[in-house]
Chain A
Amino acid sequence: MLPTYAFEDLKPQVENLRKRVNQVRKHLAQYFVNKEDIVDLMVLCTLAQEPLLLVGKPGTAKSDLIVKFAQAIGLEGEEYFEYMLTKFTEPSEIIGPIDINQLKEGRYLRRAEGKLPQSRVAFLDEIFKSNSAILNTLLTIINERKYYQDGKPISIDLVMLFGATNEIPEFSELGALRDRFTLKVESESVRETHFDELLEKGLRNETYKAFQQRPWADLCRLEDFLKLKAYLDHTMSRTEDKEGRTDRDRFFPSDVYALFKRILKTLEKEDRIEISDRKVIKLYKLIRTRAFLIHGGVVTKEDLVLLRYVADRIQDFAPVREKVDTLLRLH
Chain B
Amino acid sequence: MRNALIFREIDAFWDFIRLHGSEGHNARGYSLYLAQPQTPPTRPLLLLVGFVRKKSLLGKLFSHFFENTYHIEENQSSLRLFLPDRSQQDLLVLQRRDAQDLLSLVDLVPALPLSAPKEHVIFWLHDPDQLGPLVEISMRLQNDRIQYAPLHNPPHNGLLLRIEAPSFYLLQICKEQYSKQITLYTEEATDFFTPWGYRHPLIDLWRLSEMPREPRWTFVPQGAPPQTIAPVQWQDIYKAAQFVLQLHTEQDWEESKEQTPRFSLPLRFEPRNRPLEPEIWLLEEQHRPQLERQLSLMDEDDLSLLLINIQKDQDGKHRFFLREKQIGKGRAWLDFGGQRFACYKGIHQLLLPVDIELQPQLRRDQYTPLFDLRAGILTFVTLPSASTHRMEEATLTRIREDAFAPLRQYIDYLITQNIEHLQSIQQQSVFDLGRYTRAPYRPELLNTRQSTSSRDTHTPKDREKSAQETSPKETNEPQTSPTQRPPTPRSKTNPTATSEHRRSALEEEERTLEAQLLQDPQSDDFFMLAQLKQEMQKLDEAQECLIEALWLASPPNEALLKKQLQEIFFKTAHTKHTNVPTENAQIYTRRDAFLSSLFTAPTGVRTGWLQTHIQWLHQSEALLRKKLRWLAWREVLRCNRDQREAARVRESMLRELNEYGLSITDIPTFLQRAFANNRQLFAETQAEQNDQHLALHHLHYLRNQFAQLQLPPFRIVGQALVGAGHLQVGVLPTGVDLLQEAQQYAKDDQELDLWVAAISHSVASYADEAFEIRTASRLQHHTSLLEKQPFLKEKIEECSRLLQPAKEKELQSAFAASNVRRLYTDAPIHAPRLQEAFAALQEAHKQGKADHIEHLTQTFLSVLRDAIRGEGDFSRAPVDYNEVAKAISRFVDLLGKLRWGGSGHVLLAHFLDFVRVAPSRPPDESDSVRGLFFMLMRLHIAQGLVSLERLPQAIEIIQQCLMWLYRWIDNPIDFLDFCGVALQAIEELPLQERNQLLQSITDQFVQQINAPDSTMRVYYEGSALQRLGYLLQLQLVRIAASKEQLALGQMKQYMDRDEMALRERILHEDLTQPMGE
Contact = CB atoms under 8 A, between A and B. Distances in A.
Interface stretch (A59-67, A82-90, A190-198, A258-266): A258-266
A269 B176 contact: no
A240 B141 CA distance: 39
A269 B114 contact: yes
B140 interface: yes
B167 interface: yes
B519 interface: no
A269 B168 CA distance: 7
A182 to B, nearest CB: 22
Contacts of A258: 176
Contacts of B116: 266, 269-270
Contacts of B114: 269
Interface string B92-127: 000000000000000000000011100000000000
A123 to B, nearest CB: 37
Contacts of B142: 326
B291 interface: no
Interface in A311-331: 326-327, 329-330
Given A266-B167, A269-B115, A326 B172 contact: no
B140 A266 contact: no
A326 B169 CA distance: 11
Nearest to A326: B141
A262 B172 contact: yes
Nearest to B177: A258
Given A269-B168, A270-B116, A270-B168, A262 B141 contact: no
A211 B241 CA distance: 65
Nearest to B113: A269
A263 B169 contact: yes
Taking each of A258, A265, A266, A269, which has the highest tally of chain B beta carbons within 10 Å of its own beta carbon?
Answer: A269
B814 interface: no
Contacts of A269: 114-116, 168
A326 B173 contact: no
Contacts of A263: 169
B168 A266 contact: yes
B140 to A, nearest CB: 6
A327 B169 contact: yes
Nearest to B175: A262
Contacts of B168: 265-266, 269-270
Nearest to A258: B176
Contact of B140 (A265, A270, A326): A326
A251 to B, nearest CB: 21
A270 B167 contact: yes
A263 B167 CA distance: 11
Contact of A330 (B115, B140, B176): B140
Interface string A273-292: 00000000000000000000
Given A269-B168, A270-B167, A270-B168, A262 B173 contact: yes
A265 B172 contact: yes
B137 interface: yes
Contacts of A262: 169, 172-173, 176
B169 A266 contact: yes
Contact-residue bracket for chain A: 10 to 19
B186 to A, nearest CB: 14
Contacts of A329: 140
Interface string B134-152: 0001001110000000000
Contact-residue bracket for chain B: 10 to 19
B722 to A, nearest CB: 43
Nearest to A272: B924
A263 to B, nearest CB: 7
Interface in A137-191: none
A327 B169 CA distance: 8
Taking each of A263, A266, A327, A329, which has the highest tally of chain B beta carbons within 10 Å of its own beta carbon?
Answer: A266
B175 to A, nearest CB: 10
B934 to A, nearest CB: 16
Contacts of A327: 141, 169
A145 B140 CA distance: 44
B137 A266 contact: no
A329 B140 CA distance: 9
A256 to B, nearest CB: 14
Interface in B146-194: 167-169, 172-173, 176
Nearest to A322: B142
A4 to B, nearest CB: 42
Contacts of B137: 330
A160 B456 CA distance: 78
A4 B313 CA distance: 99
Contacts of B172: 262, 265-266
Nearest to B169: A266
A313 to B, nearest CB: 15
A199 B167 CA distance: 42
Interface string A199-228: 000000000000000000000000000000
A265 B176 CA distance: 13
Interface in A229-266: 258, 262-263, 265-266
A263 B137 CA distance: 14
A117 to B, nearest CB: 41
Contacts of B176: 258, 262
A270 B137 CA distance: 16
A301 to B, nearest CB: 14
B131 to A, nearest CB: 17
Contacts of B167: 266, 270
B584 to A, nearest CB: 70
Contacts of A270: 116, 167-169
A80 to B, nearest CB: 42
Contacts of A266: 116, 167-169, 172
A298 B173 CA distance: 23
A330 B169 CA distance: 11
A175 to B, nearest CB: 17
A176 B1 CA distance: 66
Contacts of B141: 326-327, 330
B143 to A, nearest CB: 11
A315 to B, nearest CB: 14
B353 to A, nearest CB: 38
A329 B139 CA distance: 13
Interface string B905-932: 0000000000000000000000000000
A267 to B, nearest CB: 9
A265 B140 CA distance: 18
A329 B115 CA distance: 24
Nearest to B165: A270
A173 to B, nearest CB: 20
Taking each of A263, A270, A327, which has the highest tally of chain B beta carbons within 10 Å of its own beta carbon?
Answer: A270
A275 to B, nearest CB: 13
A300 B205 CA distance: 50
A329 B169 CA distance: 13
A265 B116 CA distance: 10
A75 B167 CA distance: 47
B164 to A, nearest CB: 14
A316 to B, nearest CB: 15
A327 B142 CA distance: 11
Nearest to A266: B169
B503 to A, nearest CB: 68
24 contacts: A262-B173, A263-B169, A265-B168, A265-B172, A266-B116, A266-B168, A266-B169, A266-B172, A269-B114, A269-B115, A269-B116, A269-B168, A270-B116, A270-B167, A270-B168, A270-B169, A326-B141, A326-B142, A327-B141, A327-B169, A329-B140, A330-B137, A330-B141, A330-B169
Question: Closest 10 interchain pairs by CB?
Answer: A269-B116, A266-B169, A269-B168, A270-B116, A266-B168, A262-B172, A270-B168, A327-B169, A330-B140, A269-B115
Given A269-B115, A330-B140, 17 more contacts: A262-B172, A262-B173, A262-B176, A265-B172, A266-B116, A266-B168, A266-B169, A266-B172, A269-B116, A269-B168, A270-B116, A270-B168, A326-B140, A326-B142, A329-B140, A330-B137, A330-B141
Interface of A: 258, 262-263, 265-266, 269-270, 326-327, 329-330
